[in-house]
Amino acid sequence: MNDPFEKLYYRPLVAIVREAEHGKTVRTVLERQLGVSRKLLSQVKLTEHGLTVNEVRAYTTAPVAAGDMIRVRMLREISEDILPQPIPIQIVFEDEDLLIVNKPAGMIVHPTHGHYTGTLANGVVFHWQERGEQVRFRPVHRLDEETSGLVAIAKTSYVHQQLSEQMQANGFLKLYRAYVYGSPAPVQGTVDEPIDRDPERPHIRIVTPTGYPSVTHYETLASYNETSNRPASAVRLKLETGRTHQIRVHMKHIGCPLIGDKMYGSEQGSVEEWELEAGRQALHAEILGFTHPITKQWMEWQADLPPELARLEQKLTT
């Protein structure tokens, strides 16, 4: 059954009051059943149909009875500050609530000062416009410009809130593949070192005792050129925290900087042919998984290696 207000609002969130919740307030029921934030409630209660009990406008402090139906409706929004552009985007998954895309290297996720076009956001907003969808661009997490792979984008403020909380509670599965110089020792382990800005070069991050807690788990998948003066490895990484440049900083810290990383990479003078193959830092967000905020089902996606990293691996293997 279609919602009569679907042109103005996104699909409503629905909570049926349980026996144990009889006499509780609207806010209490929504917080317990759906984890709706007070910020979202303060927004929806301002619109006529944003917060209703049995389709009658209600206040968050109103008491409810067992069997009552509470609906939360969020106004449809668009990203007015993002210019739609017909940029090809690789969609891995999409439904009413979220979008998963495989971002190529060389693309920024969101427009920044002096870089307003050519971003993932421009392409996604155009995609929604073409489909006739009125949606605001809300990335749940981001990747560096030169990192490829999976990015999750929420279609509503509620889904964004729920996924952000999952990520903060370490409920996200985010696995990266990297190609690095050297061989990590031990071959599998954890880098638990705080990270912060370099006081002398604020755009650079460094490991420092006064930094923010940062944890990266790694596992060596393969080793290459072990007998040469230029060994390399393929490494799978799992983030427990999400600091800026975390993987790149932590791998450099253990003596295995990413191949092709111009900011944190190897400082050796000579360059082998295979080092030029990727043309950028050899880092790919390969696997992404989390619990869908609406269906409550675990979902997981995998993005194949992009051609440039597949070529790098082939060069290293032969």
Active-site residue (options: 68, 81, 97, 144)? 144
DSSP assignment of 41-68:
HHHHTTSTTTEEETTEE--TT-B--TT-
d(CA 22, CA 160): 29
d(CA 33, CA 55): 19
Amino acid occupying residue 166:
Q
* DSSP H or E segment with residue 142: none
Q: Answer yes or no: 144 catalytic.
A: yes
How many Cα atoms sit within 13 Å of 268 on the Cβ side? Answer: 16
Per-residue exposure over 245-274, b if at least 16 CB sit within 10 Å of its own CB, e if not: bbbbbbbbbbebbbbbbebbbbeeeeebeb
Amino acid occupying residue 294:
I
Say whether the peptide bond before residue 12 is cis (omega within 30 degrees of 0). Answer: no
For residue 30, which phi and psi values (nearest 5 degrees)? -70, -35
Q: Which two tokens stand for residue 290?
A: 């989390």
Which segments of the chain does DSSP mark as H helices, in order?
26-34, 38-44, 120-131, 157-168, 246-253, 307-317
d(CA 292, CA 289): 9
d(CA 147, CA 1): 42
Give the number of other CB atoms < 10 A from CB of residue 28. Answer: 15
Active-site annotation, residues? 144
